[in-house]
Amino acid sequence: MYAVVRTGGKQYRVESGQTLEVERLGSSSAEVDLAPVLIVDGDRVLATPAELSGARVSAKVVNEIRGKKIHGFTYKNKSNQRRRWGHRQNYSVIEITNITV
């Protein structure tokens, strides 16, 4: 059984016991419920909102990490305008504990 869940504006294919990095979840609790977009259980596929109304994907937050640093530089020639910037994305490492239909 696997499910497709949506979090942080992205969709992920998850199975029970899987660990993945998602954009930082705002909750500080250890348990998180994710709303599934699709659930495949053998040869049965649940995809409509009516079928997924009671479905949940449970996960626990394992760690909070930061991604790789991204460097950027912008300039406009002949006008002495220069700007350097950087960014590191915050991620939550979650482990999928249960998929309930």
Would you list the domain boundaries of the chain? 2-100
What pLDDT is attached to residue 101?
86
C-beta of residue 60 within 8 angstroms of C-beta of residue 14: no
Rounded mean pLDDT for each run of 10 residues along the chain, 101 residues in total = 93 95 84 92 91 92 94 96 96 94 86
What pLDDT is attached to residue 50?
92
pTM over 0.85: no
Token code pair at residue 20: 């993945």
What pLDDT is attached to residue 12?
96
